[in-house]
Each structure stands twice: as structure tokens, then as C-alpha cells.
Structure 1
């Protein structure tokens, strides 16, 4: 029935590989929750910390920028720091997923999860 498919005809082996991959994906998702990245703006006046999953977990604002007349600038700096942290989180997540794909022997550049 599976003649000509070579190693792909081994359904039990494929199922085992799929289960291993699913377990590794679960482990990777859990680990991304504990990896943090920090984005910043205003030469470090505002720093936002996020998990590699993109969840914001901290915000550090230098008190020197709290001037009522500079409210809009402070808001812009906060947003910029959060966006920077989210970008870094996405990059870190992609790095970790790429590493896992490589460990599983998947082709380079293959996006996970499928």
C-alpha cells in the first residue's frame, strides 16, 4: 500500500515523531514564558520588559521625564519602549523556534508551529 514512499510508509514511526515534535513544542512554549527581553527608548529613559511570548511584564521609567508639559513625549517614549520589547520578543521566539526545528532535523527556514 505504501510502496514507493520509502521511510514515510512507516506510520508508527511517523506518529512517534509527531508526538515527539508536539511534546517539544509544548516545552518550547513553556520556556518562552520564562525568557525575558527588554526594549527601550529615549536612550534608556523608558524600558519595557516582556517575555519571549510578547507578554509585557515590567516597565521602568526614569523619574526625570515626569514633567507635566512633556506628557505627550513621555507617552511616545512608553509606546516606543513597548514596541521595541515586542519586536525583540518576536525575534527571540523565532530564534528559539528555529533552534528547535534544527534539533528536529527540519529544513532550514521552516516556520514553527506549522
Structure 2
């Protein structure tokens, strides 16, 4: 491999690294709302898949059926998590999503 090809490869690698950093920052600055029960429960995750907020409408709470509330929380979390994953796939360069770089 000659010096010209190596230089071009290094430039390409630097460009990809810059794109990754920009995409990662955009992802980290984003919030994703997952809902369940027609909006009775909302879980908000940040781009690092950490819980930012949980909102529970009073109608979601039935003291005699807490299992339903637990199921709604799980469903809302999973909805938000899926949104983060899909957005990550969309904005990160091909093959880089899920690497946690």
C-alpha cells in the first residue's frame, strides 16, 4: 500500500470518527417517550437508555391490581427503549449502532 492510499484511509477513518462523535452527541441529547395503556403510563429515556422520567396518570393506579400498573410500566419502558434503538440505527454510521462508542 503506498503512502497516498494510507493517507486517504486515515482521512476516511477520521471522518467516520467525527461522524460517530456528532451522532453520539445528538443521541445523548435526545429524549424518547414510551407509552402504554393509551397514555396512562409514560417512561422517558435518554439516548444512553437511562430513565429520565416516569409519569403515571391516576387512572392507572388500582390498589387492588398493582400487577396491571407493573405491566404498563414494563410496556412503556420497552416502547421507549425500542425508540432509542431505532433512532440509534438511523443516525449512527452503518454497523456502528449498539457498539456503545
Larger radius of gyration: 1
Structure 1 unaligned segments of length 5 or more: list them.
4-8, 102-109
Where relative contact order (Cα < 8 A, 6+ residues apart) is larger, the structure is: 2
Cα distance, 1:52 vs. partner? Answer: 3.2
Give the structure-1-normalised TM-score: 0.75
Measure how far apart 1:81 and its partner are.
0.3
Unaligned runs of 5+ in 2: none
Q: For 1:65 and 1:10, how far apart are their aligned partners in 2?
A: 62
Alignment TM-score, normalising by the size of structure 2: 0.84
Whose helix proportion is higher, 1 or 2?
1
Aligned residues: 98
Task: Quote the RMSD (CA, aligned, Å).
Answer: 2.0
